[in-house]
A and B are shown apart, each in its own frame.
Chain A
């Protein structure tokens, strides 16, 4: 958050409290502008080609497209292996990373290897022969994981075989495939960035690498799906207190003042078989959120249908303290919304007039400025909904304003113990906790694995 304190220094005690709440929603209102981008994880550089700079020097030749490698020398000992790494380490912020090679020519001895190595790996040794590396070798089908000797692992592979190597971040395993089927997996005992690595070690061996530019022989998508289902199965075994979801939904409806929904919900749950039983002694205090339910519902309805003047009028009558400071974040959001509604119906002249009276004073005020500018920018476009500030015309913007007013009314409840309680519903607090736990765990785990995104979770259909 930026320094909000500078914006309104003349507020008295109660206003500071209200101001804080309003600021919270001001942030939300601006969230709309960055909607498309904020969901994505910071993009990681993916391996896309072979690294020709950090190479073993002279034993092998990488093709000009940097996607195939050939052993061009004569191997005499164990320190003249032709090793190449990918240009970037395997990305970690995902469930699975995977790449494949196609053995074009097994050469004299078929001493080909595929695996992962760390950045400082000795580039004249087979992956797996040295510490912090792991490799599946073609000539003996053995798996080498940092020790000189390998262990029996899978079949050998040779010319015309497609062999794959992957990292499963959920199980912390390396896994290998041959011609589209999993060969086996081994615990990933290496920390730090791991580079996809291939090695050739006898005359004329030639290998092509596929970092995903072409379809894989192995169905990675399905593999990921199976992994997710495994995890899901563990999670589904956890038991919940009875009717807890029901209670959370109900308190959500109360919190946001969705009164009509709540009434239907209550009527229906009385007639279900068996009737939904809600324990009252679990600290679920209804009194606090039933507060002003009908007024909150009415105001939400007005705002959602774009009738901002009526909403302001009602607020003046019912909760003058909320709208008394015309420079508060709440008033600002309402004025912005009124302006937006005028643009929506094409009353541009009136919008300009309204803007001059009600919005001009917010120019230059930290915290308000971006939104004022975005609002005014609506006037510049013939088709504002398709412009960069089009988010203002979306339904979600009305919802933010309605939520702000709802929270402000909740904050006037004299029984309120904690001012934070009117900012977030129980459901929201749970979802934040869930997201924070997943993110924290990942960050303590070297950023490995998928993060939790509610948005993505809702998009994934289980079918």
Chain B
């Protein structure tokens, strides 16, 4: 290390001391990291939870065999859930609704908002396919009565129907409804509702823990200078930024 860097480091340490922050060197920190006990089974569970929640059913089945980790949900239900999700993603909303009802009719009965969004998606698909008459009929018969019950549904319905007013929908203000992201939004809403109905969390735990890591590092920053992990995908330990 050149003298320059040594001086810089010392200055930084003095500065840190002045603000009464504790400085933890990389060596000290690595010792603390080594003292942490992480059980392999827990990591396996975390990975299984990710596979299951995200719907990687084959991978979850293989992982059960390779790691001996039991999934926290019946794997068969994943297949059904993914079929629903896929149907929405591909624009087969009627099919999706039927599949959800096969799975558990209570899901749609108890989620008027979800049911409305699915119907709205169905309307969007009809408009996309140029079935104007069918779309109008569907909007009047199925969607309008629901709009009467709920102001926000009505606004959504009006927004969707206005798609019909444009010759070139790719340039209209509500064009985003025809975007693939709208399908994905609806699909993930159904997905979450099914998971909730199976008393399973709707999101995998891993992303929450990663967020918690970022949060925990920020919190500790207030009290100490210590080696960070800034790149989550490599988990490289950086030198303390003082």
Contact = CB atoms under 8 A, between A and B. Distances in A.
Contact of A431 (B32, B38, B208): B38
A437 B229 CA distance: 11
Contact of A437 (B50, B89, B211, B219): B219
Interface string A27-54: 0100100010010000000000000000
B209 A441 contact: no
Given A264-B56, A267-B58, A241 B217 contact: no
A357 interface: no
Contacts of A396: 39-41
The majority secondary structure among interface residues of chain A is helix
A455 interface: yes
A238 B214 contact: yes
Given A260-B65, A436-B36, A240 B207 contact: yes
A318 interface: no
The majority secondary structure among interface residues of chain B is helix
Nearest to A28: B40
Given A236-B208, A396-B41, A454-B42, A274 B231 contact: no
A295 to B, nearest CB: 15
B184 interface: yes
Interface residues of A, number: 72
B40 A399 contact: yes
Interface size class of B (residues with CB under 8 A): 35 or more
Contacts of B67: 256, 258, 261, 399
Interface stretch (B101-109, B141-149, B160-168, B198-206): B198-206
A457 B33 contact: no
B24 A440 contact: yes
A264 B58 CA distance: 6
B62 interface: yes
B46 A441 contact: no
Interface stretch (B110-118, B124-132, B150-158, B220-228): B220-228
A457 B234 contact: no
Contacts of A455: 39, 42
B180 A245 contact: no
A35 B38 CA distance: 11
B68 A395 contact: yes
A245 B210 contact: yes
B172 interface: no
Nearest to B21: A444
A436 B32 contact: yes
Contact of A283 (B29, B201, B231): B231
Contacts of B226: 437, 440
B213 interface: yes
A300 B223 contact: no
A425 B211 contact: no
B231 A282 contact: yes
Interface in A102-139: none
Nearest to A394: B41
Contact of A433 (B24, B65, B213, B234): B213
B63 A435 contact: no
A186 B65 CA distance: 53
B51 interface: yes
Contacts of B58: 264, 267-268
B68 A440 contact: no
15 contacts: A35-B39, A235-B208, A240-B211, A248-B206, A256-B67, A301-B66, A395-B68, A427-B46, A433-B235, A437-B213, A444-B220, A444-B223, A454-B209, A458-B205, A461-B201
Given A440-B226, A457-B209, 15 more contacts: A240-B210, A240-B214, A252-B47, A273-B184, A283-B231, A399-B67, A426-B234, A427-B235, A429-B235, A437-B220, A439-B36, A440-B24, A441-B219, A452-B216, A461-B199
